[in-house]
Amino acid sequence: MSTLVSDIISDVRQEIGDFSGLGHSTTQLIAWLNRFNIRAAEKIAQFEFIGIPGFEATHWTQTMTSGTASYAEPDDLWQLQNLWMSGQTVPLEQIPYERLQRQTGTTSTPSYFARFNGSIYLSPSPDGGVLNMLYWARPTKLTATTDTMPGGGVFDEAAVEALAARVLSADRFSEYDVKIDFQLAEAALVRAGFAAQGGTQRRRILRSSSQEYKVAHEV
């Protein structure tokens, strides 16, 4: 199932009664939608959900050169989940970069790694082999109404709910607080997760008198 950004924005405008589109600009709504997608990606990475289009974990491999201990990370790396050597059953242990720099020894199969300035550092230095990484990539930034929402429709309702709530909160409160974005997205995503698992029925929180608004604005 593919949903365009224009579909989400249209649903948001319907929910808040902005039928003419004269309220918040499309550019602003897309910016808030990108913040929602970041929050969705964080939850997916936290609970290690799999098979959600646009939020899949990525498997990266790097053929190593004997004696070379550092390798550039993938450009789209956001959250690293696991790092291991092909043929090994135990993942590498992450340690502070300063500690790794103090370690010495001959080339061998790496047991430790550190991250520093966009690179992976291994200890001991590898004698060859293939390095594997499973990581979560940063969600692709939405820029136009013709872009496709990630998630394969799983989080569409939650996105509409969070954005509509964000618009109403922006109209009610003049001072911007990024925490509100995250809290509204969190509430919507939690209900989306319950519904996906056959649990609590999702419910709309599109009125300023709702408890979620009170929680969000009292923080």
pLDDT digits (tens, 9 = 90+) for 132-185: 999 988 888 999 999 999 888 888 888 898 888 888 877 665 544 556 666 666
Same domain, 159 and 203: yes
Same domain, 62 and 48: no
Q: Report residue 205's pLDDT band, with 50, 70 and 90 as the boundaries.
A: very low
Same domain, 107 and 163: no
Last residue of some domain: 137, 165, 197?
137
- The residue behind tokens 């408890």 is 211
Number of domains in the chain: 2
Please check whether residue 144 is in contact with residue 126, taking contact to mean a CB–CB distance below 8 angstroms. no
pLDDT digits (tens, 9 = 90+) for 25-59: 999 999 999 988 888 888 777 766 666 777 778 89
Same domain, 157 and 126: no
Please state, in angstroms and rounded to a whole number, the distance separating the CA atoms of residues 114 and 96: 6
Last residue of some domain: 137, 152, 169?
137
Same domain, 130 and 152: no
Higher-confidence residue of 37 and 194: namely 37
pLDDT of residue 162: 85
Last residue of some domain: 80, 105, 137?
137
pTM of the model: 0.67
Please check whether residue 94 is in contact with residue 114, taking contact to mean a CB–CB distance below 8 angstroms. yes
H or E stretch at 31? helix 26-47
- Give the DSSP per-residue string, 145-207: TTSBPTTTTTTHHHHHHHHHHHHHHHHH-SS--HHHHHHHHHHHHHHHHHHHTT-SPP----S
Same domain, 50 and 153: yes
Q: Which two tokens stand for residue 87?
A: 């043929």
- Range(s) of the domain holding residue 89: 57-137
**Mutual angle of helices 26-47 and 156-172, in 10-degree steps:** 130
pLDDT digits (tens, 9 = 90+) for 57-100: 889 999 999 999 999 999 989 889 899 999 998 999 999 999 99
